[in-house]
Amino acid sequence: MKVIIQRIDGSDFLTIDGRWVTDKALAQDFYTLLRAYRFAQANTTVSFRVLLHCPEDDYSASIIEGVGKAGEQATFRDSEPEITRSRFEIEDIADILAGDIDATRLHLN
């Protein structure tokens, strides 16, 4: 399973060097949904969707859509985005989901 980014208006897929390609096999695997979403939002200027893609049977499922907020001259990193934390705290998840969610309700029983 791969986590890839698709441009909504052109149905192209993002590579790590910032190129949009038509072949899903060439799309960068971002490994996690949040990493892919944040990368696309920071480095593109287009509407995009984050997909879970299974190369074995060429099946993709759209998980979340967003809009790139980079300037007109988007610059792309030469490597994958750096992960500074290995896990999220409950409060972080609440902020990501909606901001108004009570973090104490996110604990699993």
pTM, two decimals, is 0.64
The Cα–Cα gap between 8 and 50 comes to 10
Using a 10 angstrom Cβ sphere, with 0-12 exposed, 13-18 middle and 19 or more buried, the burial of residue 71 is: exposed
Q: Write out pLDDT tens, residues 44-95.
A: 999 999 999 999 999 999 999 999 998 755 455 544 554 444 444 555 555 5
The Cα–Cα gap between 65 and 87 comes to 23
Domain-wise residue ranges, the chain: 1-71
Q: Is 47 in contact with 9 (CB distance < 8 Å)?
A: yes
Q: Is 78 in contact with 70 (CB distance < 8 Å)?
A: no
